[in-house]
Structure 1
Amino acid sequence: DMLDAYIGPINVSAEYIDRISKGDTPPKITEEYKGDFNEIKNNLNALIDVIQMRGADIQLLTKAGMEGRLDVRADPSKYSGYHGNMIKSINNMLDTYIGPLNLAAEYIDRISKGDLPPRITEEYHGDFNELKNNLNQCIDAISLLIHDVNRLSEAATAGDLHTRADVNQHQGSYATLVKGINETLDAVVEPIEEAMRVAKEYAQCNLATSFDPRIQVKGEFADFKNSLDTIGSDISKTIESLHQEIESLVKHSSNAQYGVEDVSRGAREIAQNAEETSMNASKAEEGIDQVLRAMADLTVMVSDISANADAVARLSEDANALAKKGTEFAGAADKGMESITRSSSEVEQIIGAIRSEMDQIRKIVNIITDLANQTNLLALNAAIEAARAGEAGRGFAVVASEVKALAQESRTSAESIADMIMGLERKSDSAAHAIEAAGKAVGEGNRALTDTLNVFTELTRAVDDINQKMLTIAQATEQQAASFEEITASANEMSTLVKRTADDATQSSATSEEALAVVSQINGIINLINEAVANMRKEMEVFNLRKTS
């Protein structure tokens, strides 16, 4: 019984110690023991409580660490002896881990946010020192990467496109990143340098160059290349077209200058012709004034002839009455015959004067006809020059047409005057024949007076014939007076036309002078255009154009 009393608690103790040693925490002992065995039971149960509490604290710390709650710690004051020291050591160990980890987390957080921290200078041991060295190496690598990137950026900003970073100073992904940056710069710089070369050639007016087709470009650089080539091609086409337009402008300018010279010569000739027309018109006006004065004299003479004819008619009536009265009036008849003889002589003289004036009028009419022909010729020349002048000579053409019309009217009036003069000559001849007949009758009357009584009846008939012929002369003189009035009116009208011709010629001369001034201005403009074209041609000769198919 005593052995059983020893063995039972000892076996339970051995079993519990064995399980505890194997990490299997048994449940607390609930059996009843006495004496020292109960003490053993209580000690084992206390050990189980400590192990469970320590396990719970370790599990708490483990779970908190796994959950990232690195500030959780166990309370060592709950323990006594080495158990409290162990919990305290675990807390210290956690503190030893957590310091470098928190620093690493802070550095990693700052690096991830682009805030590069300074190198770690604290002392660490073992793996923590390796972690510190790795973080410092990461900081150095990133610092070097930042330095190289900044150097490349500064070089690019300064226009230095050939600066590159040294790949050998970097490792791993950093070396790959730097290599990629260098290759990116190479891919960008080569097309840019070629574009700069093409732009420089364009700036030096060499439009025949183009982007080197051996340089492979893609994407937007391909569009850039095509744009540069298109600029050179399009500008070459534009300058070529501009060159052709300039050549055409040179030809048109030359033609315009020749046309302006022709217009200038035509205007000068028109001015000279207008001056000659004005002078001829003045001469014609003087001739017409002479004709008018001669016509006035002729009108006075015709009036005298008409008055004399009336007097002769009255004398014939008196002679007829005296013949009827008989021989007592023979003496009076003799005196009347003497008066008739004198009147006939005066009529012959007047008719001679009329013929002389008619010859002068004919000469004046010939002068007017020549003036009209010359004016017509000048008008034709002016019309030709106006036609050569084109649009600028339209005013000259109108003036030439008016001058030609005036010349035609002058010629028509001169022909009318010539016809009237011929009529007057015929009538003057008739009057001369009549006067000659009257002279014969007077001679017969003188012979008849020697035997008045025997031939009184014949004298009466002769006086009647004289009376009739004098009436005819009176009618003829009246017709001549009317013709002279028509001639005078035509001469006045011709004088007005000649004055209008002179005025138009003067206006044409002034217009020609204005046209000469305008032509001079046009010549100046054409000269300026020629100078501008010469300058443009000189400027375009510096371009080396691209050959277009």
Structure 2
Amino acid sequence: MGIVKGTDMSLKFRLAASFVGLFAIVLCMFAGTTYVTLSQKDDGLVINLAGRQRMLSQKMTKEVLLFMQNGADASKAQVKKTGQIFSGTLRALSRSGKAPLTLNINGPTVHIPAPNEAIKKQLQNVDAQWNIYSKMVDNILSGSKAVSPESLSDNSLHLLKEMNKAVVMMQSDAEGKIKMLTLIQVGFTILSALAVILVLFMVHTKITKPLDRLRLYAKSVADGNLDAEISGEYSAELLALKNAIALMVKKIGETIAEAVEKGDLAEANSRRAELALADAKEKQEEVEALLAAMKDGAENAGAISNDVFQSIGELAAQVEQVNRGVDIQRDRITETATAMEEMNCTVLEVAQNASNAAESAGQSKEHAQTGAEGVDRAIGSIDKIYKRIMGLKETMGDLGKQADSIGHIMNMITDIADQTNLLALNAAIEAARAGEAGRGFAVVADEVRKLAEKTMDATKEVGDAVSGIQKNAKENIQAVELAAEDIIKSTDAASESGGLMDSIISIVDETAGQIQSIAAASEQQSATSEEINRAVGDVSTVASETAEGMATSAQTLKDISDNVEKLNSIVQSLGHLESR
């Protein structure tokens, strides 16, 4: 079975923390890029204006030299105009402020941000050199001949060198910002890639693989292997899902085993009840036949006994007249007594057999009652199975709810991935606005968008797996409901069998009462036969004393002989019934 880790963080917390971390990385990268980009916004303009200062210094020198040649007022005005543009631009570069955007002093201006300390210090050197140069120009414009063209050119060259140093420093500062932007983008890109790889690894190990193992386990159980085991490690919601599935399969196995056992027991009890019923019917038929035969025999024996008593009465009336044939009469009477004794034995055996049949009927009744009790127990067991299956249905419903909660988590992951994708798109738009400087950031934003799309694809696969589990849970619930309906039908059938067993018990009980009545009648008939036997003995004694009267009653003896033969036939028929 899977290894339990009850202290793991929930999947919802892990996924939320992962995507919040990824979002924080992207946000930090965006903030850093925005900061560097904003700091670079005026670098190109500043470098261009600083480069223009180099050109203005040389332009101004040429204009001063031209003035020195022609002394024209126009040349003088042009020198002053160029000096104003150079001075205003230098002041804005050094201290921040507005600088002329064109060579027209009255034209549009642009705000220049304050430089860093190193550039500011270099611009101060430029300003000092400009003060020297501008004084020389002022002297020349005022008509002084103290400044030679060579001196002017040398100072102009010094001013150009100092300004060129400032431009180089500005360019180096701009390149440093670009390098820092590149490092920020590369660093955060690597960090984002590592974070995405970590998230994908966590999703694969903590969600995708466990869900795939659960899918294989569910398929194995669906194929009939209830002894299958869930392998691997699980945590948080998936651990609860794994335990719920394992408990569900365990209860299904126990329920099926118990149902099979109870079904076998009910079937065995039913077979025993059917055998007992068949045996009882057979005994009932034999007893009914025996009762009919004994009834006929009893009626014939009663008629013959009446005839014998009448013949003996005639012999008693003629006892004084009959003397011959006493020995023959004695023999016949002796034979009659023997036959009556045999009939008495036969009747006793019939009574004993009837008692045995009554005992067998009682045993059949006990077996039928046992079968009815077995049916009642089967009904109780089936009812317990029905309750357990309904409990299993509720457990499977809880399983479906847990799978739905995982689906909600997947929806949250999809929403986060959509937001990440939208953020990457916004970052790409901002990078496009930044132009060439934002190209590297655009590449990073595109990679983040691709990683977000991969995350959405992985989330979709997890969602499909969860949908499969939900579908299997619904199918199992439907199967449990069908099993519950079958158990209800089994309960109805068992109840009907219990009613039939009660009817069998009533029939067997009635049969046992009839057999006991037969036994009582047979015992009464045996007592009557005993009395007849004693009467025949008395007749034999009287016949011995009245031998002379017997001679005249030959016809009567003949009638007695015929009746005795009939009695023998009846006894023989009773003997045949006994053998049956």
TM-score w.r.t. length of structure 1: 0.35
Q: Which has the higher contact order (CA 8 A, sep 6+)?
A: 2
User: Quick check: which has more Rg, 1 or 2?
Assistant: 1
